[in-house]
């Protein structure tokens, strides 16, 4: 057992996670068989158990993988020195772009996590809500700096942003030709200004 983190075993395990992500994304957790996963990886069904204790562990790893840098990137955005508007744009861009980049693992996380047992799901949920909390923090900061109205409920705001992004995420995954940047602009616009014609209202 060499100390190098890229021993053959580690490499193969990673390949297994990617194979599982790919198959789960395509057929869903219950629609995929361990044989499918092994085949995509180029090994035999039984050999898969060298890398996963169970099919559920495979799902768990995929979800973790899908969630990880999704959450990680949020941390660096929140920590950066930028005005509110820039952080918001960065967040939305990061979130929506993800559906193109590593959509498989992420898609699996979104669609199949309910098949994990309580404890694993909770662990992932914490990572995910860490994500939301970071976003909420950005709104709070925005209020302090005066960029966000004082009466805004920041928790609500963070949920809303995520909801909008996810809703479009589904469309994006379905249609690979969709113009992502237009969606991002529109989303930022909505969050900042809503749709109402204030001149009219006033």
Partner DNA sequence: AATGAATGAGAGTTCATTCAT
Partner DNA sequence: TATGAATGAACTCTCATTCAT
The footprint of a second copy (CB under 8 A) covers 28-31, 85, 111, 114-115, 139, 142, 146-150, 152-153, 156-157, 159-160, 162-168, 171, 182-183, 186-187, 189-198, 200-201
The item of a second copy, DNA, none sharing an interface with residue 33, based on CB under 5 to 8 Å by kind, is DNA
Q: φ and ψ at 51, to 5 degrees? A: -110, -25
For residues 44 and 100, which CB has a smaller minimum distance to DNA in the complex? 44
Structure tokens at 157: 């705001």
The item of a second copy, DNA, none sharing an interface with residue 72, based on CB under 5 to 8 Å by kind, is none
Give the C-alpha separation, 13 to 16, whole Å.
5
Per the rule left: phi > 0, alpha: psi between -120 and 50, beta: everything else, 28 is left
What is the rounded (10 degree) CA torsion for 49, 52, 56, 60? -170
The item of DNA, a second copy, none sharing an interface with residue 8, based on CB under 5 to 8 Å by kind, is DNA
**Closest distance to DNA from the beta carbon of 2 (Å):** 10
């Amino acid at each position: 057992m060499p100390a190098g983190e890229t021993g053959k075993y580690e490499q193969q395990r990673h390949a297994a996670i990617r194979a599982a992500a790919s198959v789960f994304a395509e057929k869903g957790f219950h629609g995929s068989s361990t044989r499918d996963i092994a085949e995509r990886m180029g090994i035999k069904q039984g050999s898969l158990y060298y890398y996963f204790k169970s099919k559920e562990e495979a799902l768990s790893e995929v979800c973790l993988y899908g969630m990880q840098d999704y959450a990680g990137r949020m941390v660096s955005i929140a920590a950066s020195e930028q005005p509110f508007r820039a952080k918001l744009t960065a967040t939305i861009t990061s979130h929506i772009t993800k559906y193109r980049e590593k959509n498989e693992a992420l898609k699996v996380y979104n669609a199949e996590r309910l098949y994990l047992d309580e404890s694993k799901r909770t662990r992932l949920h914490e990572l995910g809500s860490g994500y939301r909390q970071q976003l909420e923090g950005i709104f709070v900061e925005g209020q302090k700096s005066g960029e966000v109205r004082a009466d805004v409920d920041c928790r609500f705001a963070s949920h809303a942003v995520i909801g909008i992004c996810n809703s479009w995420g589904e469309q994006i995954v379905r249609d690979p030709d969709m113009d992502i940047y237009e969606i991002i602009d529109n989303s930022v616009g909505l969050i900042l200004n809503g749709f109402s014609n204030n001149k009219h209202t006033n």
